Structure 1
Amino acid sequence: MSFQSIAGQDRVKRILQNSLRTDKVSHAYIFTGPSGTGRSAMAKEFAKAIYCQVLKDDACGECLNCRKVEHGNHPDLHWVVPDGASIKIEQIRELQQQFAYRATASGTKMYVLEKAETMTVQAANSLLKFLEEPTSHVVAILITENGHALLPTIRSRSQWIPFVPMARSAMTEALLKEGQPPALVQIAVHLAAGVDAARTLMQGNGFAELRNLVIQLTKESLGRLPSALLTAQQKLTKGELSEHLVTFLDMLILWLKDMVQLSVGNRESLIYKDQTDWMAQQAMHYPSHHWIACMELAIETQKRLRFHTNPQLALEKLLMRLKGV
């Protein structure tokens, strides 16, 4: 394993490897960007490279230190994850106690905070003192989806490393090379920010079934609406897929985007490519503004579900809107 084992994020790799080559590793980094862009994997490879006994600007993956980091038992590397919903002050204090001891032969101690934006105010203030007055040679990595949610004083003392979503074309190529199902790949690359996240999504429970359900429910809604309402109740709002309702709506929104394209005669860059023929026929039965209105309602439904609206009523309203009722 090395930096090159992580798909994309070439700019991040250049910054980190250059800092290793020039012995200018910062004392603190903020790895900020969407989930699935490889932030945690990059933190692990950076840690390996810092401790690697063979290479200066990468991880050999074979030496004792690289293997210790890989297996999570390097004595100078501490990985902190939220305790419940947040990172608490006790966790930061425990970290500080660990760092009071001298580092081993490497001379460098390192810690990684996952979901750093979840730190309580007390934890963040305690960490700030730690950043300002490290007791030894310390490297910190704060991993977050939103670096701006961290204290300005923490941001000002850290090097900002932005992680960007991987290009969909590159994700698609990589996943198809692995032999992943093309129909699922087309959806996953629109819902995930990186190859690993897309792969995890596809392998998750119900992903393929949810896609099939989007096709079934839209067909039934446009043909036999009562049947669609019954299917939605049995499989989505009361069935085993109920916990995946938000993902179902994500997939439905992608289907509606295809319908907007088809309603104006555009068959390029469709997501549900294997369903083009019947979708094109249905798309022409309504003006494009009908499909746009349905898409807006689907997005609004997602928002409403966050505020505990009745899932069954919300979904029935959406399916009826598809039919134009």
Structure 2
Amino acid sequence: MSFNDIMGQEAAKQLLQGALRKQTVSHAYVFSGPSGSGQMKTAITFAQALFCETYNEDACGECLECRKVEHGNHPDLHLLAPDGASIKIDQIRDLQRVFSYRSEMKNPKVYIIDQADKMTVQAANSLLKFLEEPPIPAVAILITENGMALLPTIQSRTQLVPFYPLQAEMMLQKLVEEGYPAPLARCAVHLSSGLEGCRDLLDQNWFAEIRNVMLQLGKESLGKGSSSLVTAGQKLFKAGLSEHLDTLLDLFHLWFKDMIHVQYGRHESILFIDQLEFLSTQAPSRSTAQWVSYMDLAAECRKKLRYNVNGQLCLEQFLIGLEG
């Protein structure tokens, strides 16, 4: 694996490769950013580059040390993740025990803590002592969606490496190259912050089904004498798709947004491009303010779902609101 294989995150890659090249690698880093933006892949690549016998600022992927990392059996690389809902003090103590033994190689040992913000207070305090006084040369990489959620004392003793959501266009191109249908991929990249999340969504059979249901409901609800309530009952609740109402409403939000894009001639921004003919016909039938009100209606319905309002009742109110 190479830094060149990591999509986006140019600032993070430059910072880490610069440290490797100048031999100024910090003893601890916090990789902070949205899930799916490449923190773990970057952390593994960084560790691999530290161990690499061939290059000094990247991983060759071919030497013995690189192959050990790729096979998941490098003795100097240790990964830690939550045990259940949290990372517990015993896990940190076990890590400290492992790091009491020196590496047989010249390189420092590396440990990666995923979801580091889920450490208990006791675990975080135990890690703090380890960060300040490691028994052997070591590099720590703490991965979190929010670096500010870590103890201030940990933040002050680590170097922040910010990660950002990948651009939708970049993810779309990659997903289509991998063979995912473009219409589905276009939706997925607007509902997930990273490639892994997009793939997980696209690999679910229900995702294509829920998109089709949304399109049918979206078209029916805009006509007179709408049959959208009947369709919702049959295609969602009887078909076992009711647990995905949040995704359905997110898609509705994007659907109405596309209507506004059509009104303003922003065809390059249209998400449901395979529905362009229908969108072009219907977009002028409502004012921009009306389409915005429909987006607000979808957001309000989604909020009700979070507060455990009955899903069927909530969706029916939403669809009636569209007809009104």
1:13 and 2:13 matched: yes
Query: Once structures 1 and 2 are overlaid, which stretch shifts more, 5-14 or 278-287?
Result: 278-287
Q: Which residue of 2 aligns with 1:63?
A: 63
1:26 is aligned to 26
Relative to the length of structure 1, the TM-score reads: 0.92
Q: CA deviation at 1:265?
A: 5.6
Q: For residues 285 and 131 of structure 1, what CA distance do their matches in structure 2 show?
A: 62
> In the TM superposition, what are the counterparts of 1:173-212 in structure 2 within 5 Å?
173-212=173-212
Q: Deviations over 1:84-143 (max 9, x none)?
A: 111111211111111122222244111111111111111111111111111111111111
Listed as ranges, the matches of 1:29-44 within 5 Å are 29-44=29-44
Shift in Å, 1:263:
4.4
For 2:113 and 2:224, the matched residues in 1 are separated by: 52
- Give 1:230's aligned residue: 230
1:182 partner amino acid: A
CA deviation string 1:223-255 (max 9, x = no partner): 376632233234434543233222222212111
CA distance in 1, matches of 2:22, 2:268: 47
Task: Quote the Cα distance in structure 2 between the aligned partners of 1:205 and 1:64.
Answer: 40
Alignment of 1:257 with 2:257, yes or no, is yes
1:221 corresponds in structure 2 to 221
What does residue 290 of structure 2 align with?
290
SS in 2 for 1:191: coil
Q: CA deviation at 1:264?
A: 5.1
Give the AA of the match of 2:78: H
- Greater shift after overlay, 102-111 or 261-270? 261-270
Aligned length: 324
- How far 1:161 sits from its partner (Å)? 0.4
Q: Does 1:148 align with 2:122?
A: no
- Answering whether residue 67 of structure 2 is matched by residue 91 of structure 1, we say no
Deviation at 1:189, TM superposition (A): 2.1
Aligned mates of 1:181, 1:287 — CA distance in 2: 32
Q: For 2:265 and 2:66, how far apart are their aligned partners in 1?
A: 55
Unpaired runs of at least 5, structure 2? none
Question: TM-score, with normalisation over the residues of structure 2?
Answer: 0.93
| Distance (whole Å) between structure 2 residues aligned to residue 235 and residue 154 of structure 1 | 50
Structure 1 unaligned regions, length at least 5: none
User: 1:21 Cα shift?
Assistant: 1.1
C-alpha contact (below 8 Å) 2:31/2:161 kept by paired residues: yes
Q: How far is 1:31 from its partner?
A: 0.5
CA deviations 1:61-86 (Å, max 9, x no partner) are 12222122122221111111111111
Q: In structure 2, do the counterparts of structure 1 residues 244 and 102 end up closer, same or farther at CA, with 3 Å as the change threshold?
A: same
Shift of 1:220: 2.3
2: CA distance, partners of 1:266 / 1:6: 31
When structure 1 is superposed on structure 2, of 21-30 and 255-264 the one drifting more is: 255-264
Q: Match for residue 169 of structure 2? A: 169
C-alpha deviation, 1:3, in angstroms? 1.0
Residues 51 and 107, structure 2, Cα contact 8 Å, conserved in 1: no
Instruction: Specify the code of the residue in structure 2 equivalent to 1:95.
Output: L
Aligned-residue CA RMSD (Å): 2.0
Distance 2:225 2:124 in 1: 53
Query: Letter of the aligned partner of 1:258 in structure 2?
Result: D
CA–CA distance in 1 between the matches of 2:66 and 2:205? Answer: 33
Please give the per-residue CA displacement for 1:144-185, whole angstroms capped at 9, x wherever unaligned: 111111111111111100111222232233333344322122
For 1:223, the aligned partner's letter is G
Distance 2:134 2:24 in 1: 17
- In structure 2, the CA distance between the partners of 1:14 and 1:265, relative to structure 1 (3 Å rule), is closer
Percent identity, please. 53
Q: Label 1:146 to 1:237 Cα distance change in 2 as closer, same or farther (>3 A).
A: farther
Instruction: Find the residue that maps to 1:190 and give its secondary structure.
Output: coil
Per the alignment, residue 122 of structure 1 pairs with: 122
Given that residues 235 and 242 in structure 1 are in contact (C-alpha distance below 8 angstroms), is that contact kept between their aligned partners in structure 2? no
113-122 vs 214-223, which deviates more?
214-223
Q: Distance in 1 between matches of 2:6 and 2:267?
A: 33
Q: Tell me which residue corresponds to 2:242.
A: 242
Match of 2:273?
273
Q: In the alignment, residue 257 of structure 2 is paired with which amino acid? A: K
